[in-house]
Structure 1
């Protein structure tokens, strides 16, 4: 009887461990609307929350959401704090040397400038961008003076305070802010930088990547991915 109880307990622990391993932790920033943000209930919301939940359902995966600051989001994926990055991350050759990517789930989103006036010289001025983004790399390579901040909110604040002449970020992030704030102006100029946006995974997780790739393909095929992109206005459709 005691042996039976012990065996049952061991099996229960093994099952519990298997269930824990079956949970896919979806890592996001939670600070980049409309892609991802924290809602009034304290939950992850936005385009990527809705997309990620649908991808997990189609892949028959049990997923949970984890937030992480942007500047350490790749190192903490590699170290195992979560299993995917789904955070508006453009696919670049530099990032692909460290992690792996699924196919893109949105086409490349143009990057725009927001400033306090429409006559700002972004080539010779001070431009701010979020740390470790394609926009920050672009500004540095273009020769303008770059000021980096850890969060997107800080880049907007730098423009308002005069610390920077303009901010460069995804148009889909900046447009709602410019529409709502009378003191901010969206410049006509934009930049086409980076690749499409995909999910980041550890290079060792080939099976998980294949499952998400298949789910993304199915959403492209049935039109539901384009519908979601249009709903949240995050990029052009496929």
Structure 2
């Protein structure tokens, strides 16, 4: 019986170690071309390709977890997954709660899409996805802000007249312009680039991803991937 108990304990320890070797990559799956769910029901996009390559270079086994944006940081902190790789801009406010790797893309310009090119942003209603740098920017301007949980809802709000314009990453808005929606000439440069978010206690894991990101910058692979998906300017 004693040997059986010891054997069970050893198996439990072994299973725990195996689980620890699998890194769970949390993403939104709703922000093309950064991350989205394809027709096969799988996570796809720039960050899926990037994340898989980073895990390969870091010698890690990774699996993907889809999570809504509004709870993506709390669920990282609570342990539902081990990283956030979801087009998340590095900000001082977020850095107080979680840690970030070095950025894997430079800051992406934020743009406006509306039904008319002469929309009055200051006098109208501007929508943005909740808990984003764009929502914070609109609020700081003192403009009327309407927030929604998903990017699709912000675009729908412009189409149905609930908002006059939507502010989001230009790379995302590039995928929705047309069919009556136009992009305004005005752009905003906000945020400090996009990086992977990790728990503050996971310094070793952050170091592995930092090294992998740097290696992709050094050999040009990252710029090639950025150009393929057209998510931002290159390094």
> What TM-score results when the alignment is normalised by the length of structure 1?
0.96
Residue aligning to 1:193? 190
CA contact (8 A) 2:32 2:175 kept: no
Unmatched runs of 5 consecutive residues or more in structure 1: none
Write out per-residue CA displacement over residues 204-236 of structure 1, whole angstroms, 9 at most, x where no aligned residue. Answer: 110000000000000000000000000000000
Query: Partners in 2 of 1:124 and 1:200 — Cα distance?
Result: 36
Residue 228 of structure 1 pairs with residue 216 of structure 2: no
Query: Partners in 1 of 2:179 and 2:202 — Cα distance?
Result: 46
Residue aligning to 1:217? 214
Query: Partners in 1 of 2:155 and 2:2 — Cα distance?
Result: 65
Residue aligning to 2:87? 88
Residue 61 of structure 1 pairs with residue 74 of structure 2: no
Write out per-residue CA displacement over residues 164-217 of structure 1, whole angstroms, 9 at most, x where no aligned residue. Answer: 000000000001210xx3210011111001110000001111000000000000
Residue aligning to 1:12? 11
Query: Partners in 1 of 2:67 and 2:194 — Cα distance?
Result: 18
Write out per-residue CA displacement over residues 45-100 of structure 1, whole angstroms, 9 at most, x where no aligned residue. Answer: 00000000000000001111011110111111111111100000000011001110
Residue aligning to 1:142? 141
- Secondary structure of the 2:111 match is strand
- Secondary structure of the 2:176 match is helix
- Secondary structure of the 1:177 match is coil
Unmatched runs of 5 consecutive residues or more in structure 2: none
CA contact (8 A) 2:108 2:170 kept: yes
> What TM-score results when the alignment is normalised by the length of structure 2?
0.97
Query: Partners in 2 of 1:22 and 1:201 — Cα distance?
Result: 15
Query: Partners in 1 of 2:204 and 2:214 — Cα distance?
Result: 15
Within-5 A mapping of 1:28-43: 28-43=27-42
Deviation at 1:7, TM superposition (A): 4.8
Q: How many residues align?
A: 235
